[in-house]
């Protein structure tokens, strides 16, 4: 399977917040933003895999700043890493006040997708190759984020989370053990 550069999975989407997109406080509804985030991350995942993909999970999403009516919302996504049939995609959201030109960050999140065949069964995907230092950093952290997702979902046991053991400095598993230097 052919690998792709992370830059080949990049997607950009802009939307303007219209009255129908807002809550009764005049800010973009969270559900509308989550929809836009899901669409753009799926595009990145499909660019990486050339396959149909389905959303499996969305990591913690915090709405740090309200996005007011009339703002331009800027969404950027890229695949950070692929595994057997799954892909991790990061999305960053900002918004711009067209009157002042000021841009602010709103939030970011990681989406996980699985590539599927026409019957909905998982199928393998190719690798993505990070080129820049930020891409390499996201690629390296993807293993720990994946293990944490699987651990929290009960799909792996603590002693199977090798990447998490490395970052916590644990030799014999995660559960019931303290990080090195914390044994008092």
- Residue-range domains of the chain with CATH: 4-130 (3.10.129.10)
Residues 159-174: pLDDT tens digits? 777 766 665 555 544 4
Rounded CA-CA distance 145/85 in Å is: 16
CB atoms within 10 A of CB 54: 13
* Matching residue, tokens 């918004």: 95
Q: Residue 169: its pLDDT value, please?
A: 58
Q: Residue 156: its pLDDT value, please?
A: 73
Total-model pTM: 0.85
Q: Please say if the pLDDT value at position 34 is more than 50.
A: yes
Rounded CA-CA distance 28/73 in Å is: 10
Q: Please say if the pLDDT value at position 178 is more than 90.
A: no
């Amino acid at each position: 399977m052919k690998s792709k550069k992370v830059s080949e999975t990049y997607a950009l989407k802009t939307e303007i917040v219209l009255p129908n997109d807002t809550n009764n406080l005049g800010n973009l509804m969270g559900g509308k933003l989550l929809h836009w985030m899901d669409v753009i991350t799926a595009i990145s995942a499909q660019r990486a895999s050339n396959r149909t993909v389905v959303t499996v999970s969305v990591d913690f999403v915090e709405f740090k700043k309200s996005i007011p009516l009339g703002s331009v919302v800027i969404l950027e996504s890229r695949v950070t890493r692929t595994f057997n049939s799954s892909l991790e995609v990061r999305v960053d959201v900002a918004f711009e006040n067209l009157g002042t030109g000021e841009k602010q960050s709103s939030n970011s999140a990681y989406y996980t997708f699985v590539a599927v065949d026409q019957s909905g069964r998982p199928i393998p995907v190719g690798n993505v190759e990070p080129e820049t230092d930020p891409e390499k950093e996201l690629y390296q952290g993807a293993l720990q984020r994946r293990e944490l997702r699987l651990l929290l979902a009960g799909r792996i046991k603590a002693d199977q989370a090798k990447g998490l053991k490395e970052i916590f400095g644990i030799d014999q598993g995660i559960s019931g053990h303290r990080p090195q230097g914390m044994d008092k």
